[in-house]
């Protein structure tokens, strides 16, 4: 299926990109725009295949910008992601921002314009794999966590303009994978139409509909 080709191409390109960075090339992805550089590399990897899949960066949607859209025949795939390194700081805010990316991906998919969504994350900061305390405790991204649909996530504040509490419609299993013998870990979460619609149609709390 065309959708499978888009998905498999994007996932393979992400694995190649993440491995390239973990293999000693992280110095090429630095500065305030380092996530943009990672997605630029991902775009090159996607379009370097022979499958006819195209990639576009920073695609506008409802006042947001989608990090990357992979397209071909059929509906495209929306991709959001994080690239966080040791020394970045703001770990509690970054956890919340990751869940906000999932919230946005559900909105993208629910709109009917996208086949599905992907959330990707690459980090060498082990704090994201451990359970936190304090204001980002509800937004934990620790290894082995399962977010249950409809669970409200509370925090006193957020850096992003996001609803609090934040409520997602889908179920998400945080299963990080270590890249070889490097200190780098990668996470991939899929957002499908069925899960994006899961509580939204059956009465998702109002805060999640903004």
Q: How far apart are CA 146 and CA 26, in angstroms?
A: 30
Query: Can you give the pLDDT at residue 200?
Result: 60
pLDDT-derived band at 198, boundaries 50, 70, 90: confident
Local confidence band at 206 (pLDDT 50, 70, 90 cut-offs):
very low
Using pLDDT thresholds of 50, 70 and 90, give the confidence band for residue 182: very high
Q: Give the C-alpha separation, 203 to 150, whole Å.
A: 9
Percent pLDDT > 90 in the chain is: 81
pLDDT at 121 over 60: yes
Q: Of 175, 174, 173, 155, give the one whose Cα is nearest residue 165.
A: 155
The span from the CA of 118 to the CA of 133, in Å, is 27
pTM of the model: 0.91
CA–CA separation, 88 and 72 (whole Å): 35
pLDDT for residue 89: 87
* Residue 201 burial class via C-beta count within 10 angstroms: exposed 0-12, middle 13-18, buried 19 and up: exposed
Rounded distance, CA 65 to CA 54, Å? Answer: 17
Q: How far is CA 123 from CA 47, 57, 178, 179, in A?
A: 24, 21, 10, 10
Average pLDDT, the chain: 91
pLDDT (mean) for 31-36: 94
Q: What gap in Å lies between CA 118 and CA 105, rounded to an integer?
A: 8
């Amino acid at each position: 299926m065309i959708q499978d080709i888009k998905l498999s191409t994007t996932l393979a390109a992400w694995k190649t990109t993440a491995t390239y960075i973990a293999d000693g090339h992280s110095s090429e992805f630095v500065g305030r725009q380092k996530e943009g550089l990672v997605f630029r590399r991902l775009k090159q990897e996607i379009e370097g295949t022979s499958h006819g899949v195209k990639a576009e960066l920073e695609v506008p949607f409802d006042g947001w910008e989608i990090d990357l859209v992979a397209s071909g025949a059929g509906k495209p795939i929306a991709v959001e992601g994080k690239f966080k390194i040791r020394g970045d700081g703001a770990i509690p805010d970054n956890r919340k921002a990751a869940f906000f990316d999932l919230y946005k991906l559900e909105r993208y998919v629910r709109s009917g314009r996208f086949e599905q969504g992907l959330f990707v994350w690459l980090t060498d900061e082990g704090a994201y794999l451990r359970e936190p305390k304090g204001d980002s405790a509800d937004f934990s991204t620790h290894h082995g966590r399962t977010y249950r649909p409809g669970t409200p996530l509370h925090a006193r504040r957020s850096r992003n303009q996001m609803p609090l509490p934040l409520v997602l419609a889908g179920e998400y299993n945080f299963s990080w994978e270590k890249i070889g013998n490097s200190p780098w870990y990668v996470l991939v979460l899929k957002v499908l139409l069925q899960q994006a619609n899961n509580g939204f149609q059956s009465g998702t709390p109002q805060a999640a509909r903004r």
